[in-house]
């Protein structure tokens, strides 16, 4: 059966490539921009009235990717680059004929840039077609930043940089300041960096790029960037960055004595070379990190929670080793956390960066003991060798050792990647294999592998993969959602640009997408998910909808305890559902997203309703409300769940922000309120005031004046460079 499916899949895969040929994107050669060195003092105010901004070369040849592909940007857009011994500056002119059409709803750091007018700066200091930094601004001076590695994005990274903006009757304008210490780059006398720019005009739903405007690519694709030249004789003025912290707090838990934690510690970042960075940390504390959203989980698998701790986020992709099927060879949340409880970190070190074409990531962290958890050492080494223009081979080693256990992971991987397949199409072929050990001793049935081929392009997106994980594979520093399986996946999507006369931007069609799991030790089918999207579209106005037909199979080998009162017997279950999704354009002041799913659920039926409402009051105040309802009717009983998540964000200015997050989960009888004040006294330094309230005994008998837990923390992190 599987062989027949994959033979058919290969035919479809080949056919999809050739039917996309007539729609090949325009081919173009990268262009260049030259940076101008100046000793002139820059008034960092976003007005761009210094003489140097007038005499330096401006580029203005931006081309639309959306909506009118290949046509010039509708609003005049210019960029210029200057630098001195310590800093690179970007001058940005975003002219707008009608100032009232400027959309700028946000002002905070890490704002939702996809819903605003914005300007994006892509810098690839390695010029290796793989690694880079993306800096994003909006007319209010809001900032967001992303680290990029081979098209993968790390949106949680925060660099040290700043922007000032101004809005006039002619449009909006910006000065962006990026110190060299924020970047990693080759130590050459004359530098050549990859560079690209993008302007998004929300009112027009328009996206324009300087280079790489093909719809098969995005600004994340470093290989299509232009060239920044003219930078000479620079190096880091400061090689060391010291970030000590002070923390004071109060913690209350019902039936326990109050606690008053007082903590201090520090991070030291050392630029060993312009391309290699060392992070040192001691007595690390993560009190300022926002709380996780604990979603209702009606599956028999655990929920994956992303990393939010800043120490682990910079250079995150230098350590990544994805095993497929949502499994991770290395999962940073296994460090400093045990069963959701924070474990003290005594000290740690991270080394990451490039040496020539070698990508290196090394980590060693020592955890302190806490209660029944012994002191533990965690080690990770990741290596990737660049091959050709975009490909690589690599290896990983992880180890978690304490006085009760010792677990290791050894793995190899590689990928052939090109954006020149059939002249200008993307193609990725990858593979990896790994094994886990105990006390460095190989175990039986502890191997996993995965092979995949991906053709991710605008008209056709076709992905195929097969993998296997044996029963005893269990790296303690990884995230394993499921094990003991053989998996087969195929996702075939076609998104033609059709029906434009009716205001349709793009059809969203999925003839077929499935994942099949067989139990590895028996060969018997365990799970099967199949989805078809016969109808879906994105409109020129930004609205979108989908209609999906979904088929699932699940084999339960033991009783599945859905709740404390309802259990589903072991057995084989086929489930058939249909789903409707609708979403208005998120750039509007008020927007909404809706999902309705109904059909089978094990021995009975389920109805799921999910909604999200966003309200932009003004650039200071934004609110988002989420509500989800599940109504499950089984032979074994009825389960109704409610989930509410409320976000309120008030931004006084780009460096001072107050947020409120409240969540309610009826399945887990959980209610948490989180208040957080974040002040940036200077870029790179932070002050947090965090207040958490938790309820958990019984939501039905909740007493709002008597929470189960209460915690208040004030934390100051201050940055010194030398």
- Residue 25: per-residue pLDDT: 42
User: Looking at residue 12, what DSSP letter applies?
Assistant: H
Q: Which tens digits make up the pLDDT trace of 457-482?
A: 999 999 999 999 999 999 999 999 99
Query: Whose structure tokens read 């975009």?
Result: 390
3-state secondary structure of 18: helix
Residues 316 and 169 in one domain: no
Residues 462 and 354 in one domain: yes
- Residue 30: per-residue pLDDT: 57
Structural domains in the chain (count):
2
Q: How far apart (Å, rounded) are the C-alpha atoms in residues 163 and 683?
A: 10
* Domain limit, last residue, from 424, 457, 480: 480
Average pLDDT (291-311) is: 88
* CATH code for position 98: 2.60.40.1190
Let me know: does 106 contact 651? Beta carbons within 8 Å: yes
For the chain, the straight-line distance linking the first and the last C-alpha, in angstroms and rounded, comes to 65
Buried b (16+ CB within 10 A) or exposed e, 468-507: bbbeebbbbbbbbebbbbbbbbbbbbbbeeeeeeeeebbb
**Could you tell me if residue 596 is left (phi over 0), alpha (psi between -120 and 50 degrees) or otherwise beta?**
beta
Q: How far apart (Å, rounded) are the C-alpha atoms in residues 720 and 400?
A: 33
Q: Which tens digits make up the pLDDT trace of 249-282?
A: 999 988 888 899 999 999 999 988 878 899 999 9
How many residues are present in the chain? 722
Average confidence score pLDDT of the chain: 91
636 within domain boundaries: no
Let me know: does 210 contact 196? Beta carbons within 8 Å: yes
Q: Quickly state the pLDDT bin for 650 (edges 50, 70, 90).
A: very high
Let me know: does 276 contact 362? Beta carbons within 8 Å: no
Residues 68 and 183 in one domain: yes
441 within domain boundaries: yes
57 within domain boundaries: yes
Residues 68 and 171 in one domain: yes
Mind giving me the DSSP string for 308-357? --HHHHTTGGGT--EEETTEES--GGGSSEETTEE--EEEEEEEEEEETT
Q: How far apart (Å, rounded) are the C-alpha atoms in residues 643 and 670?
A: 10
Structure tokens that stand for 474 in this block = 């269990």
How many CB atoms neighbour CB 582 within 10 A? Answer: 14
Percentage helix, strand, coil, to 5, in the chain?
10, 55, 35
622 within domain boundaries: no
Whether pTM > 0.75 for this model: the answer is yes
How much of the chain, in percent, has pLDDT values that exceed 70?
Answer: 94
- Residue 126: per-residue pLDDT: 87
pLDDT of 11 higher than 60: no
Residues 328 and 185 in one domain: no
Write out the H or E segment, with its range, that includes residue 52: helix 51-55
User: Looking at residue 373, what DSSP letter applies?
Assistant: B
Q: Which residues pair with 338 in a beta bridge?
A: 341
Residues 73 and 176 in one domain: yes
Residues 311 and 425 in one domain: yes
429 within domain boundaries: yes
41 within domain boundaries: yes
Residues 64 and 177 in one domain: yes
- 443 or 156: which leads in pLDDT: 443
Residues 6 or more apart whose CB falls under 8 angstroms from that of 18 comprise none
Sign of the dihedral defined by the CA atoms of residues 671, 651, 115, 59, in that order:
negative
* Domain limit, last residue, from 232, 261, 283: 232
Residues 326 and 216 in one domain: no
59 within domain boundaries: yes
Q: How far apart (Å, rounded) are the C-alpha atoms in residues 19 and 10?
A: 14
**For residue 134, what are the domain limits?**
31-232
pLDDT of 26 higher than 50: no
Residues 81 and 218 in one domain: yes
User: Which of 214-218, 311-315, 395-399, 618-622 shows the lowest per-residue confidence on average (mean pLDDT)?
Assistant: 311-315
Q: Quickly state the pLDDT bin for 65 (edges 50, 70, 90).
A: very high
Decide: residue 590, CB within 10 A, 0-12 exposed, 13-18 middle, 19+ buried. exposed
492 within domain boundaries: no
Q: How far apart (Å, rounded) are the C-alpha atoms in residues 150 and 128?
A: 10
Residues 317 and 193 in one domain: no
- Residue 27: per-residue pLDDT: 41
Q: How far apart (Å, rounded) are the C-alpha atoms in residues 142 and 120?
A: 12
Sign of the dihedral defined by the CA atoms of residues 62, 63, 65, 68, in that order:
positive
* Domain limit, last residue, from 207, 232, 257: 232
Q: How far apart (Å, rounded) are the C-alpha atoms in residues 347 and 370?
A: 15
Decide: residue 260, CB within 10 A, 0-12 exposed, 13-18 middle, 19+ buried. exposed
Residues 345 and 465 in one domain: yes
Nearest alpha carbon to residue 315 among 262, 277, 271, 266: 277
Let me know: does 45 contact 89? Beta carbons within 8 Å: no
């Amino acid at each position: 059966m599987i062989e027949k499916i994959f033979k058919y899949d290969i035919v479809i895969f080949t056919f999809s490539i050739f039917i996309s040929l007539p729609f090949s994107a325009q081919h173009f050669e990268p262009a260049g921009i030259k940076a101008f060195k100046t000793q002139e003092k820059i008034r960092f105010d976003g007005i761009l009235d210094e003489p140097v901004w007038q005499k330096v070369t401006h580029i203005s040849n931006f081309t639309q990717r959306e909506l009118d592909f290949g046509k010039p940007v509708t609003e005049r857009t210019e960029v210029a680059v200057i630098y001195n011994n310590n800093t690179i500056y970007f001058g940005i002119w975003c002219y707008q004929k009608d100032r009232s059409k400027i959309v700028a709803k946000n002002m905070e750091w890490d704002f939702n840039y996809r819903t605003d007018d914005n300007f994006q700066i892509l810098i690839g200091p390695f010029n290796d077609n793989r690694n880079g930094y993306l800096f994003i601004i909006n007319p209010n001076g809001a900032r967001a930043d992303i680290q990029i590695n081979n098209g993968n994005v790390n949106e949680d990274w925060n660099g040290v940089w700043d922007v000032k903006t101004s809005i006039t009757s002619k449009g909006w304008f910006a000065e962006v300041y990026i110190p060299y210490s924020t970047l990693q780059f080759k130590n050459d006398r004359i530098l050549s960096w990859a560079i690209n720019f993008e302007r998004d005009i929300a009112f027009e739903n328009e996206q324009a790029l300087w280079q790489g405007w093909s719809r098969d690519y995005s600004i994340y694709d470093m290989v299509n960037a232009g060239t920044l030249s003219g930078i000479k004789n620079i190096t880091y003025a400061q090689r060391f960055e010291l970030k000590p912290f002070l923390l004071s707090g109060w913690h209350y838990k019902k039936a326990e004595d109050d606690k008053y934690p007082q903590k201090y510690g520090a991070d030291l970042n050392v630029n060993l070379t312009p391309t290699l960075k060392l992070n040192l940390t001691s007595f690390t504390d993560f009190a300022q990190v926002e709380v996780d959203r604990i979603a209702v989980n009606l599956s028999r698998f655990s929920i994956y929670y992303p990393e939010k701790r800043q120490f682990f986020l910079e250079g995150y992709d230098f350590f990544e080793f994805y095993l497929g099927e949502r499994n991770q060879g290395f999962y940073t949340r296994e460090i400093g956390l045990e069963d959701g409880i924070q474990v003290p970190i005594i000290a740690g070190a991270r080394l990451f960066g490039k040496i020539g074409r070698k990508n290196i990531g090394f980590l060693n962290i020592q955890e302190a003991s806490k209660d029944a958890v012994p002191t533990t050492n965690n080690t990770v080494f990741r290596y990737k060798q660049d091959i050709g223009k975009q490909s690589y081979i690599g290896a990983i080693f992880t180890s978690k050792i304490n006085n009760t256990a010792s677990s290791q992971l050894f793995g190899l991987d590689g990928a052939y990647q090109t954006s020149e397949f059939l002249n200008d199409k993307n193609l990725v072929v990858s593979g990896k294999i790994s094994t886990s050990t105990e006390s460095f001793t190989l175990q039986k049935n502890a191997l996993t592998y995965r092979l995949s081929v991906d053709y991710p392009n605008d008209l056709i997106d076709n992905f195929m993969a097969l993998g296997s994980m044996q029963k005893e594979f269990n790296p303690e520093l990884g995230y394993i959602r499921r094990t003991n399986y053989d998996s087969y996946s195929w996702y075939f999507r076609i998104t033609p640009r059709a029906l434009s006369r009716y205001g349709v931007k793009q059809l969203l069609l999925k003839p077929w997408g499935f994942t099949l799991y067989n139990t590895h030790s028996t060969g018997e089918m365990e799970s099967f998910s199949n989805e078809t999207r016969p109808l879906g579209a994105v409109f020129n106005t930004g609205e979108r909808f989908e209609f999906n037909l979904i088929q699932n199979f699940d084999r339960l080998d033991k009783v599945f305890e859905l709740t404390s009162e309802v259990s589903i017997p072991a057995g084989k279950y086929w489930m058939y559902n249909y789903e409707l999704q609708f979403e208005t354009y998120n750039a509007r002041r008020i927007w909404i997203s809706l999902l309705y799913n109904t059909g089978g659920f094990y021995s009975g039926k389920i109805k799921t309703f999910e909604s999200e409402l966003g309200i932009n009051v003004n650039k200071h105040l934004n609110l988002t409300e989420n509500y989800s309802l599940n109504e499950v009717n089984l032979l074994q009983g009825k389960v109704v769940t409610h989930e509410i998540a409320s976000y309120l964000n008030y931004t006084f200015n780009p460096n001072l922000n107050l947020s409120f997050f409240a969540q309610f989960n009826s399945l887990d009888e959980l209610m948490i309120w989180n208040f957080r004040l974040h002040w940036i006294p200077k870029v790179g330094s932070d002050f947090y005031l965090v207040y958490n309230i938790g309820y958990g005994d019984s939501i039905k008998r909740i007493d709002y004046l008597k929470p189960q837990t209460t915690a208040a923390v004030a934390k100051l992190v201050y940055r010194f460079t030398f």
